[in-house]
Amino acid sequence: MTTLYRCITEDDTGQFCHRVSEALSKGWSLHGSPSMAHDPAKGVMRMAQAVTKQVMAEYHPDMKLGQQ
């Protein structure tokens, strides 16, 4: 059993919520609280949420984590 980790980032829009919701629907679990920071170059707030998932596969750097 391997634990996978990803950090989902996006501008503070509904798209961020959809990406996190999609990950949860695919068996990923929230890992910690979301983070928010201002991006002065773009003039927007950015969101981040870490998620983890247990899989029956050996980790390899070429894994496409978003497809797991």
Could you tell me which residues come within 8 angstroms of residue 6 by beta carbon, excluding any fewer than 6 positions away? 23, 28, 50, 51, 52, 65, 66
Residue 23: the pLDDT is: 96
Fold adopted by 2-67: Alpha-Beta Plaits (3.30.70)
pTM score over 0.85: yes
pLDDT digits (tens, 9 = 90+) for 1-25: 899 999 999 999 999 999 999 999 9
pLDDT digits (tens, 9 = 90+) for 24-66: 999 999 999 999 999 999 999 999 999 999 998 888 888 888 7
What are the sequence ranges of the domains in the chain? 2-67
